[in-house]
Amino acid sequence: MHTKTPRLIAAAALGAGALILSGCSGPSAADSGSDDTFSATLVGGVAGDLSYTDTTLAGLEQAAEELGVTTKHIETPDAAQGETLLRSAIPTSPDLLLSITLPLDTVISIAEQYPDQLIALPDQGDEGTELPDNVAAYTINVHEGSFLAGVVAGAMTESHVVGAVIGGQAPGLDQFALAYKQGVLAACPDCEVKLSYLNFQFSDPALGKSTALDLHSDGADVIFQVAGGTGTGVIEAAEENGFFAIGVDSDQDSVAPGTVITSMLKRVDANVFSLIEAAQNGDFASGYTQVGLADGATGLSWDTGSTVFEENAPAEAAAKIPAIKELVEDYRSQILDGSLAVCDALNEPDSEACAALG
Amino acid sequence: MDAILNFFSSEMLHSGIRLTTPILLGAIASALSSRAGVLNLAIEAKMLVGAFVGLLALDAGGSTFTAILAAFLAGAITGGLMAGAHRLGVDLIVFAIGLNMLALELSVYLMRVLFGGTGVWTPEVDTLDDIHIPFIESIPFLGDLLSGYNVLVYLAFAAAIAFTLFFRYRPGRHLLAIGEAPGAAAAAGIAVPRYQATSLIVAGGVAAVGGAFLTVGELGLFTRGMTDGAGWIAVTAALLAMNRPGFLIPASLLFGFSDAFAIRLQSTTDLPQVVVQLLPFLATLVVLGIVGYRATRAAALLGMPKRPRGAAKRPQPATSTAGS
């Protein structure tokens, strides 16, 4: 009898363990399937880039707080794993699957394979590809916001030379760069705009710093960075050498207070939120939706009330800000009422506004 | 002439030397390992380890010197792991790939656990000071080229020169022998495993200092995968230099300056962007071509000493027809 007790205990422990285990996996599996709480899973990006992914995550967090949605983020540090990770998310059957940074045709092929899975792309350029009925995509046109960033740079510069560090030369990135140039020239017609393109290196801060210092040595005193992680080096260079930078994608004003004048926002977070909200209310609309300055999808960090620069910058630089803000509002209303056409290098590269920029 | 001077601006020279430094240190590490008969593909991992540990030590209140020392030790330990694996007969190429992946993800994991959920870590630290060499600084072109860098830049170039001199001494000769023919070296009584282990450990430390140059020396911040392939470029640079110490500096300069050239060409010329980004690769291709040509020539001589000029023409019709 004595020998049997430990075995019984072991069996009981095993049984309890199995119960605990099933208890762990059971509800969560049921959770995402049931209609009680709406669940959204985001696949793509790497958290903590202070830029693109963080903006997207902010939208996810907002949805979790305000809409009571269960959210999950699956990171894809290696783009090659993206497809596998997206597929692996489908068996957990979230009510809405969000995808960033993955190639569109990959997403479409997965969507066609699982026609019941709703998939949303909060930031996807419209390449003219037809989308299946279970895919919704938002296209953010950043040119108008970038124009305003250019106005800020043009009004701020003392040397009348401004620069930009761009991650690579592609229509999507030129949508930032050319509109920025146009904005600078609008605010400061005799300014020189130096655009420095990299070779699609988005995680090399040392290169970003070198590029920014090179532009600075040619006189640039305001530099706009459109280069993801490489851009942190641009901001670092500006902070160290006492010139100014403009952030991109998310609000980077606090990365170097008093150095980053403002940030050109790409509000992927707003798209994430509205996509989740729509899907939760059963209003999931497939196809493309174009959003821009008028929808608040792009703009400056000042629009969301950031005053980090004014509070931390040297007095003479901070003193310029109120006048620049007025100028920005002036241009904003001109863009919104259609009297000012901003170059859109992604969708209309042959337009008059772009041709004028060379 | 003005255009040329404008192109070779002091900032261009500085950028080039700064971008060269981590590559040079990595290339020394790679060449040292290769000379010991081990293909070391974990340079990238060691640089990341050095970058992370260096900044960690600096943030923990250490001086820049202790930070660099800590980076060196951490890299040496990583090198030691490799040496241990080599001793056990593990395939070092597979092991190196594993190390590279581990270092990338572990650094991100530790950064998040220790410093909150971010992908960029910017502690309040002072990076290394630039050293301005009196007198030399005021020479126009040379001053820009030679003065105004932090101590690690000078250390990197000094290390490359020391590496060259190393082969003139007994341990260096032994190392050469091991790399060429480990069996023969062992038969001659050289402690092959010990030399290989020491080389891997020192190589790890040197590569890690290359990583620390980025964080402790330059940026004062750490981001995910911030070496961005510099370790791989270092391996390539060492291969381009055919692991000859004397060629390490020019090979590293080629890669370091290619980025600086690309940056500068955009500011000074109207060349299309794609062409500008293509030039560094084109330069590499040309150099590789020259290296390859020289290698075939060397092979044609079959290790025989070169014949004096003029004497080559007379006999041996076979080689001269093959040449033309």
Residue B311 has pLDDT above 90, yes or no: no
- Domain boundary at A278, A295, A312, which? A295
Kindly state whether residue A235 falls inside one of the protein's structural domains: yes
Q: Which residue's structure tokens are 């008059």?
A: A352
Q: Is the pLDDT of residue B2 over 80?
A: no
**A306: burial class by Cβ within 10 Å (0-12, 13-18, 19+)?**
buried
pLDDT of residue B308: 54
> What are B68-120's pLDDT values in tens digits?
999 999 999 999 999 999 999 999 999 999 999 999 989 988 988 888 656 67
Classify residue A319: in a domain, yes or no: yes
With respect to residue B315, please indicate whether it lies within any of the assigned structural domains.
Answer: no
B74 and B53 Cβ atoms separated by less than 8 Å: yes
Provide, as residue numbers in chain B, all residues whose Cβ is less than 8 Å from the Cβ of A161: none
Contact: B263, A255; criterion CB under 8 Å: no
Judge whether B269 is closer than 8 Å to chain A, CB to CB.
no
Grade residue B46 by pLDDT with cuts at 50, 70 and 90: very high
Q: What is the pLDDT of residues A152-195, one digit of tens each?
A: 999 999 999 999 999 988 888 999 999 999 999 999 999 999 99
Q: How far is CA A51 from the centre of its chain?
A: 6
Using a CB–CB cutoff of 8 Å, tell me whether B112 touches chain A. Answer: yes
- With respect to residue A16, please indicate whether it lies within any of the assigned structural domains: no
Say whether pLDDT at B252 is over 70. Answer: yes
Examine residue B286 and state whether it is found in any structural domain, yes or no: no
The percent of residues above 90 in pLDDT, for chain B, comes to: 43
d(CA B31, CA B39): 9
Instruction: Collect all residues from A whose CB is shorter than 8 A from any CB in B.
Output: 46-50, 53-54, 77, 169, 194-197, 199, 201, 203-207, 209-211, 213-218, 229, 232-233, 236, 255
Query: Does some domain include residue A49?
Result: yes
> DSSP label at A45?
S
Q: Are A279 and A310 in the same domain?
A: no
Cβ of A210 within 8 Å of Cβ of B260? The answer is yes
Burial A90-120 (b: 16+ CB within 10 A, else e): bebebbbbbbbebebeebbebbeebeebbbb
A220 and A103 assigned to the same domain: no
Q: Per residue in A14-32, pLDDT tens?
A: 545 444 444 343 334 334 4
Residue A13 lies in a domain: no
Residue B317 lies in a domain: no
Let me know if residue A124 belongs to a domain: yes
Is the domain of A104 the same as that of A245? no
- The per-residue pLDDT for range A107-166, each reduced to its tens digit, is 999 999 999 999 999 988 877 788 999 999 999 999 999 999 999 999 999 999 999 999
Is residue B175 situated within a structural domain? yes
How many distinct structural domains can be found in chain A? 2
Residue B66 is assigned to a structural domain of this protein: yes
Q: Which of B105, B117, B221 lies at the smallest CB-CB distance from A205?
A: B221
pLDDT at B324 over 80: no
Task: Point out the least confidently predicted range of A169-183, A208-222, B134-148, B203-217.
Answer: B134-148
What is the sign, positive or negative, of the torsion defined by CA atoms of B249, B250, B255, B261? positive
Give domain status of residue A67, yes or no. yes
Confidence band, pLDDT 50/70/90 cuts, at residue B320: very low
Q: Is residue B120 part of a domain?
A: yes
Are A182 and A328 part of one and the same domain? yes
Residue at token pair 């004048």 = A261
| Of the candidate ranges A160-164, A218-222, B223-227, the one whose mean pLDDT is the lowest | B223-227
A29 assigned to some structural domain: no
Question: Above 60 in pLDDT, residue B316?
Answer: no
User: Residue B284 — very low, low, confident or very high, per pLDDT cuts 50/70/90?
Assistant: confident
Q: In three state form, how does the secondary structure of chain B look?
A: CHHHHHHCCHHHHHHHHHHHHHHHHHHHHHHHHHHCCCCCCCHHHHHHHHHHHHHHHHHCCCCHHHHHHHHHHHHHHHHHHHHHHHHCCCCHHHHHHHHHHHHHHHHHHHHHHHHCCCCEECCCCCCCCCECCCCHHHCHHHHHHHCCECHHHHHHHHHHHHHHHHCCCHHHHHHHHHHHCHHHHHHCCCCHHHHHHHHHHHHHHHHHHHHHHHHHHHHCCEECCCCCCHHHHHHHHHHHCCCCHHHHHHHHHHHHHHHHHHHHHHHHCCCCHHHHHHHHHHHHHHHHHHHHHHHHHHHHHCCCCCCCCCHHHCCCHHHHHHHC
B275 assigned to some structural domain: no
- The domain in which residue A317 lies consists of 143-266+298-355
Asked if the structure places residue B288 within a domain, the reply is no
Partner-chain residue, chosen from B9, B226, B267, that has the shortest CB–CB distance to A203? B226
The domain tally of chain B equals: 1
CATH number at residue A41: 3.40.50.2300
Place of tokens 């920029």: A357
Residues A155 and A210 in one domain: yes
Q: Whole domain around residue B164: which residue ranges?
A: 2-269
In this structure, the answer to whether residues A123 and A206 fall within a common structural domain is no
At A298 the three-state DSSP class reads: strand
User: Do A153 and A241 sit in the same domain of this protein?
Assistant: yes
> Is A328 found in the same domain as A220?
yes
- Asked if B74 contacts B50 with a C-beta cutoff of 8 angstroms, the reply is yes
Using the Cβ of B18 and the Cβ atoms of chain A, whether some distance falls under 8 Å is answered with yes
Residue B223: give its domain's CATH number.
Answer: 1.10.3470
